[in-house]
C-alpha cells in the first residue's frame, strides 16, 4: 500500500478524552488491587447502560465478539431465515455463516443507506426469526416502522450500533430501540478504546444473565450438584471445599473468554465523559460540509430523518453518477484529503455469493457503492486549520468539476499542523 502523508487524514481515533484517560492510567499504575477484579467493569457497564437508556450492558472484548454472542443468543435452528442489511462491514453478518440459516439481504434507502422499510415486509416469511440492521455512519434507521413490522410478525430485531454511539432517534438512543443491540468501541469509533472493546445491550434480565455466562467459562450454578454429607475433607481451610470436583457445577453450554479487562473498562468510562463533546465536533464539521454541498446540485449529503440526530461516525455524500464520483475522489486526493468508500455490498462478497446471492439482489446498495457514495474525514482529532482546509478543498474540487479552474497544488501537511 502506498504510504503518503495527507493534509486531512482519515480518523485513527474516534474521540478525545486525553486528560481523563491519563488520570485513569495513573490510577491503574498505582492500584495494587487485581486488575481482573471487575469493579471498574461493572461501573462502566452501568454508565454505558445509562448512556443509551438500556436496562443491561454487557461488555466484551470486541464488537465482533459482541455480534457473535448476540447472534448465538437468538438460538437459530436449521431452516430459519434472517434478514440483514447489505450496507455494512462484514462483521455484522459474518456470525450468520456459522449457522445453517437462509440469509435474505434487504435493500437500502438510497438517501440514508439504512434498511428500507418499504423493501422489508416482502422479505418476511413464517420462517423469519431475526432482523440484523445497522445505523449506517451514525444515521439512525427508521426504527418505529421497522419495529412495528417486526412485532407484527414475531421477528427479533438486533441493531448493530457500531457507528451510532451519540446518535438519537425520537429522543432515544440506538441500543435501546430494538430487542438487542451491539456496539464496537474499536479505536476509530465514536466511543473509542485503546485497541478493542464491545458492548451488548438489552432489557431482558434472562438474556443478560445468559450473555454474562456466554462471555466466560463460568459454571452454571443453577444445576450445581449438592455434595454428600461428610464430603468435606478435615484439616483443610474452609475455601478448599469449593475446589473439590464433586462440588463443581456442570456446564450446560460452551462458554468463552470474552470478558473486557477491568483496565480497559476504566478507560471506557473515561471515554464516555468526552462522548458528547466529540460528537458535537463531528456535527459542527458535518454542518460546514453540508453547506458547501448546497452550492452544487450534483452532489448531496446523506440525509437523516427529521426526528433524529446523526452521530457522524462517517460523513457520507453522493454524486449523481460514477464519473463524477470518481473525479471528485481524485480531485480531493490531489488536494491531500484522504477518502474512503464504505462498504462493499455484503451479498456480493465470496462467502455470500457461494450461498447463491447475486448482483441485482439489492440494486440501491449496489448503485451506491459502484456509482455514487464517498466518505469524507469527519472526526474530532482534526485541528481547526485541517477542518477549514477540508471545507475549502471540497469547495474547490466541486467547483473544478462544475467547470471552474484547475486544482491548485495541495498544501504540505505542515501547513495545517501534524495529525
Contact indicator for 352, 323 with CB cutoff of 8 Å: no
Determine if residue 403 is left, alpha or beta; phi over 0 gives left, psi from -120 to 50 gives alpha, anything else beta.
Answer: left
Rounded CA separation 244/27 (Å): 37
Active site residue 189: yes
3-class secondary-structure state, position 337 = strand
Nearest to 203 by CA among 60, 56, 70: 56
Q: Considering the candidates 189, 313, 335, 357, report the single residue annotated as catalytic.
A: 189
Burial class (CB in 10 A: 0-12, 13-18, 19+), 321: exposed
User: Kind of pairing, strands 180-184 and 373-376?
Assistant: unpaired
DSSP-based three-state secondary structure for 315: strand
Helix (H) or strand (E) holding 412: none
Determine the distance from the C-alpha atom of residue 26 to the mean position of all C-alpha atoms in its chain, rounded to a whole number: 29
Q: How many residues does the chain have?
A: 419
Q: Tell me if the bond preceding 148 is cis, omega within 30° of 0.
A: no
Q: Can you read off the three cell numbers belonging to residue 307?
A: 426526528
Q: How many CA atoms lie within 13 A of 105 on its CB side?
A: 29
Q: How does strand 180-184 pair with strand 198-202?
A: antiparallel
In a 10 Å sphere around its CB, with 0-12 CB exposed, 13-18 middle and 19+ buried, how is residue 226 labelled? Answer: exposed
C-alpha cell of residue 176: 435501546
- In this structure, the number of other CB atoms found within 10 A of the CB of residue 277 comes to 12
d(CA 180, CA 348): 27
How far is residue 328 from each of residues 34, 98, 370, 385, measured CA to CA in Å?
Answer: 53, 40, 14, 22
Distances from the Cα of 210 to the Cαs of 204, 206, 253, in angstroms? 10, 6, 10
The set of catalytic residues is: 189
Amino acid at each position: 500500500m502506498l504510504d503518503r502523508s495527507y493534509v486531512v487524514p482519515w480518523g485513527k481515533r474516534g474521540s478525545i478524552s486525553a486528560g481523563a484517560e491519563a488520570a485513569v492510567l495513573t490510577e491503574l499504575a498505582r492500584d495494587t488491587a487485581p486488575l481482573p477484579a471487575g469493579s471498574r467493569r461493572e461501573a462502566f457497564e452501568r454508565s454505558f447502560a445509562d448512556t443509551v437508556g438500556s436496562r443491561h450492558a454487557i461488555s466484551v472484548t470486541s464488537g465482533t465478539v459482541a455480534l457473535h454472542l448476540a447472534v448465538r443468543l437468538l438460538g437459530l435452528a436449521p431452516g430459519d431465515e434472517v434478514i440483514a442489511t447489505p450496507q455494512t462491514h462484514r462483521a455484522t453478518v459474518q456470525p450468520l455463516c456459522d449457522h445453517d440459516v437462509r440469509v435474505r439481504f434487504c435493500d437500502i434507502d438510497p438517501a440514508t443507506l439504512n434498511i428500507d422499510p418499504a423493501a422489508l415486509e416482502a422479505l418476511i416469511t413464517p420462517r423469519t426469526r431475526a432482523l440484523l440492521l445497522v445505523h449506517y455512519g451514525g444515521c439512525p434507521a427508521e426504527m418505529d416502522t421497522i419495529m412495528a413490522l417486526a412485532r407484527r410478525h414475531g421477528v427479533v430485531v438486533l441493531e448493530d450500533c457500531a457507528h451510532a454511539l451519540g446518535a438519537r432517534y425520537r429522543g432515544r438512543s440506538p441500543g435501546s430501540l430494538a430487542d438487542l443491540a451491539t456496539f464496537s468501541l474499536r479505536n476509530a469509533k465514536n466511543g473509542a478504546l485503546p485497541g478493542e472493546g464491545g458492548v451488548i445491550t438489552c432489557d431482558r434480565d434472562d438474556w443478560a444473565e445468559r450473555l454474562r455466562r456466554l462471555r466466560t467459562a463460568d459454571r452454571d450454578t443453577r444445576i450445581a450438584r449438592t455434595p454428600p454429607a461428610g464430603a468435606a475433607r478435615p484439616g483443610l481451610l474452609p475455601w478448599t471445599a469449593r475446589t473439590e470436583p464433586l462440588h463443581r457445577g456442570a456446564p450446560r453450554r460452551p462458554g468463552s473468554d470474552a470478558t473486557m479487562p477491568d483496565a480497559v473498562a476504566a478507560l471506557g468510562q473515561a471515554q464516555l465523559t468526552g462522548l458528547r463533546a466529540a460528537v458535537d465536533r463531528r456535527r459542527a464539521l458535518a454542518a460546514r460540509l453540508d453547506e458547501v454541498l448546497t452550492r452544487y446540485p450534483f452532489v448531496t449529503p446523506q440525509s437523516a430523518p427529521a426526528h433524529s440526530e446523526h452521530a457522524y461516525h462517517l460523513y457520507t455524500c453522493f454524486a449523481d453518477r460514477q464519473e463524477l464520483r470518481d473525479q471528485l475522489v481524485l480531485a480531493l486526493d490531489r488536494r491531500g484529503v484522504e477518502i474512503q468508500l464504505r462498504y462493499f455490498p455484503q451479498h456480493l462478497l465470496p462467502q455470500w455469493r457461494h450461498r447463491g446471492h447475486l448482483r441485482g439482489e439489492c440494486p440501491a446498495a449496489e448503485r451506491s457503492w459502484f456509482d455514487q457514495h464517498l466518505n469524507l474525514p469527519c472526526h474530532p482529532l482534526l485541528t481547526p486549520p485541517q477542518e477549514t482546509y477540508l471545507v475549502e478543498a471540497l469547495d474547490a474540487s466541486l467547483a473544478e468539476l462544475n467547470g471552474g479552474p484547475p486544482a491548485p497544488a495541495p498544501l504540505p501537511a505542515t501547513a495545517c499542523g501534524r495529525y
